[in-house]
Amino acid sequence: MNYMLNMWNVVMDNRYNPLSQIPDFETRHLVFQLLAWMWCIIFSMYFGSMYVFGTTAILHSILIAGVAITFAIFRTAEKNPQFFMKKDGYHSFPRARQSMWINGKKVQLDPSDPGGEHE
């Protein structure tokens, strides 16, 4: 089991494979995506069908994009957890203007009330 996990990490985890030497995350993702498409083409040629290519290309893109987005969110949470916290002075969108439109009329809101989700 350890062997399989190590092999997975060498191929799929950019902390362990040679792509880890590319400093920019987006460039690493692009190169990884190009490699995935290359393998889609190889498998579709092996099976002799361009329909297989379309299916495998789409599935590889979805899988790698999901992994990349998850990794980016985890990295942001690790390096900058404040990114996910409520910012000072943040209010719901209608409250940002300090007024609301109700039945076609502009109603001024109390400036000392920060408001909330259900105004």
- Using one digit for the tens of pLDDT, what is the confidence trace for 5-25? 777 777 777 778 888 888 887
For residue 104, is it within any domain? no
For residue 14, is it within any domain? yes
Indicate whether this model's pTM tops 0.75: no
For residue 16, is it within any domain? yes
Neighbours of 56 (CB within 10 A): 19
For residue 75, is it within any domain? yes
For residue 23, is it within any domain? yes
Q: What is the pLDDT of residues 61-71, one digit of tens each?
A: 888 888 878 87
Please count the residues of the chain.
119
Report the number of distinct structural domains present in the chain: 1
Domain that holds residue 61: 2-84
Q: What is the pLDDT of residues 73-82, one digit of tens each?
A: 878 878 887 7
Q: Within the chain, how many helices (H) and strands (E) appear?
A: 4, 2
